[in-house]
Amino acid sequence: MATIQTLVAVTLALVCPLVARASAGEEILPLSQVQVGMKGIGRTVFAGTNPEDYGFEVVGVWKGESPGRDMIVVRCTGRTIERTGLVAGMSGSPMYVGGKLIGALSGGWAFSKEPVGVVTPIESMLAILESPAAPAGGQGGGAEGRMKFEPFATPVFSSGIPMTVMERWRPRLAGWGFSPMSGSAVRSDATSLPAPELVPGSALCVPLIEGDLSLTALGTMTCRRGDRVLAFGHAMAGFGAVELPMSAAIVHAVVPSYMVSIKVGNATAPVGTLLRDERSGVMGVLGARPQPCPLEVRVTGGGRPIARRMRVVRHPELSGSFLSMAAASVVLEEVRAAGPLTLVSRIELGLPGNRTVRLSSAAATTDSPAQAVSELLEPVNVLLDNSIQPLTPVSASVSFEAEPRARLATLDSIRLNKPRFRPGETVQVTAILRTYGGGSISRTAELTLPADLERAAATVEVHDARSATTREQVRNPGKHSPRDLPSLIALMESARSPRSLWVRLAAQREGAGYGGRELPGLPGSVVSVFGAPGATGFAKLAADVEVEMPIGWVVMGQDSLPIEVLGDAQR
């Protein structure tokens, strides 16, 4: 954040000259002087890297488009515009009347028969440089199949990301105001090209994922002064203060559509850092780029081993989703066909302060690889998008072991070596399981009873990972409601394996679980204080004997059997 504050401070020191001019030698026409019937020129890139002119006429000034904001309504003209209509990616196109900048094209109406658009006044964009950095709020999704005004959703074009992955993440992307255009990037060596000179109307993009896969948000630069640029004319995602990479872009073509036409293109060379993402546009500084999060994804067992390397933006809200998207894309590239599949995952996330988080799990499916992959990657989103402390990873690696069979098992029954036990004795628990495909397997674990266990009726329970965790949440709720980052990390790293069953003794004993800690052996008077009316986060402890029974298959089910604990007279 220190970098952001320094760059913003430099920016604010240079704001005053912008009030009169949007860029060197470029005058502005304030909203108060904009009149219906005025004609002008807009600029954007339709192909290549050079901006082209198109015409427009002011048809109205929209007072109160949203609280505290007026907009300019224009009808656009020109050969390309008349063929394609307004195009996703034109956002930020500078609009000039008499050579003076009035603002940036920023929105329109889906399914409109005429290319009527909305322009964000330039004063609103210049205000980004003067206002304190603050979250702007998401702008929401794009058109939903009906005719209504929308700020243009920020188009994101992709390469190497399967349609199944893009569709699974589409709702989350739309919630940020991104409009994913799956397959709209063209594989090329464009990133090795030198950056074109950035001028008003140049294509400008924010690479969200780079490397063997790509995901890039595209827009248009509105104006430039020195090393600062304003673009888009609306929020990219509405995050306020940010530190994201910024690149020039090349446009290969415009694909017409009745709903919304799109630009097809690629990022070229990096040009700087995006610092502000506000309601009326984005602002960046040319020069150095922020450090991305390097990601390596490996897949073995499904054929030839594959490895892919990417770079993902570092942002508390974005990193988790884009790390997951990239990892899912790589593994689904290897296991394309729906069918039986078992995956074992190992994830390492490097966090600031030289802390590494290690997560592992497994999933099996008979026909839905995408769902299995999504389940394995969800902990990444949970950790990085937590409500305790913002986190941005500094590195990440994900490995998958794939087996083209569904190692799924269901607990059928359990049996014990006898029904009565003395304190300190060992209970042998055997689980009989049915496997996918009609087979059967059994596993045995030993559970040693506490030596101080009092005479009582008790129960031996056998749980899969999910039900064992649910049972523990009831027994000690504080442990599963972490209040600090170390507790959250410890909880996630100690998550139960779905390839094991968990055998535990259910018998009440003196003690309490409070604030995530277990306090065994407490006197009854102390336990009564914890359990006083109005107290929360408290639960009486059960006997804490629990052992893991490795199965080697992704297992589901639970069962229990009663036992009798013999007292002194029965020994």
Find residue 440's DSSP bridge partners.
434
Note whether 24 and 168 are same-domain residues. Answer: yes
What is the arrangement of strands in the sheet containing 440-448, beginning at the earlier edge strand?
440-448, 426-435, 408-416, 554-556
Angle at 424 between CA 422 and CA 425, to 5 degrees: 65
The DSSP code for 327 is H
Domain count of the chain?
3
pTM of the model: 0.82
Range(s) of the domain holding residue 482: 408-570
Q: How many CB atoms lie within 10 A of CB 267?
A: 29
Beta-carbon contacts of 76 under 8 Å, excluding residues fewer than 6 positions away, are 42, 54, 55, 56, 86, 105, 115, 116, 117
Tens digit of pLDDT per residue, the chain (571 long)? 444 444 434 433 333 333 334 455 479 999 999 999 999 999 999 999 999 999 999 999 988 766 667 999 999 999 999 888 898 899 999 999 999 999 999 988 766 778 999 999 999 999 998 765 544 444 444 434 444 456 777 889 888 998 889 988 999 998 898 888 755 555 445 555 666 789 999 999 999 999 999 999 999 999 988 889 999 999 999 899 999 999 999 998 888 877 778 888 889 889 999 999 999 999 999 999 999 999 999 999 867 899 999 999 999 999 999 999 999 999 998 887 668 999 999 999 999 999 999 999 999 999 889 899 999 999 999 999 888 998 999 999 999 999 999 999 999 999 999 999 999 999 999 999 999 999 999 999 999 998 888 777 799 999 999 999 998 888 777 777 888 999 999 999 999 999 999 999 988 655 555 554 555 555 555 555 555 555 555 555 555 689 999 999 999 999 999 999 887 555 5
Note whether 133 and 57 are same-domain residues. Answer: yes
Domain with residue 319: its CATH number is 3.10.20
Note whether 513 and 390 are same-domain residues. Answer: no
Note whether 331 and 428 are same-domain residues. Answer: no
Note whether 175 and 46 are same-domain residues. Answer: yes
- Centroid of chain to Cα 506: 39
Separation CA 326–CA 393 (nearest Å)? 15
Tokens representing 286 are 């040319």
Final residue in a domain of this structure, among 266, 290, 314: 290
Note whether 315 and 216 are same-domain residues. Answer: no
Under a CB-based contact definition with an 8 Å cutoff, are residues 379 and 469 in contact?
no
Under a CB-based contact definition with an 8 Å cutoff, are residues 370 and 169 in contact?
no
Note whether 452 and 559 are same-domain residues. Answer: yes
Q: Residue 30, CB half-sphere, CA atoms under 13 Å: how many?
A: 5
Tokens representing 36 are 């219906």
Note whether 135 and 263 are same-domain residues. Answer: yes
Residues 172, 177, 182, 185, CA torsion sign: negative
Under a CB-based contact definition with an 8 Å cutoff, are residues 157 and 264 in contact?
yes
Final residue in a domain of this structure, among 379, 403, 427: 403
Final residue in a domain of this structure, among 290, 320, 351: 290
Note whether 228 and 311 are same-domain residues. Answer: no
Under a CB-based contact definition with an 8 Å cutoff, are residues 270 and 246 in contact?
yes
Separation CA 154–CA 106 (nearest Å)? 10
Of 213, 223, 116, nearest to 156 by C-alpha is 213
Separation CA 20–CA 493 (nearest Å)? 56
Under a CB-based contact definition with an 8 Å cutoff, are residues 107 and 117 in contact?
yes
Find residue 223's DSSP bridge partners.
230
DSSP-assigned letters across all residues of 48-115: BTS-EEEEEEEEEEEEEEETTEEEEEEEEESHHHHHH-SEET-TT-EEEETTEEEEEEEEEETT-SS-
Note whether 256 and 302 are same-domain residues. Answer: no
Domain with residue 150: its CATH number is 2.40.10.10
Note whether 428 and 525 are same-domain residues. Answer: yes
Tokens representing 234 are 């609306």
Strand ranges inside 177-260, DSSP E: 178-181, 203-211, 214-225, 228-231, 240-255
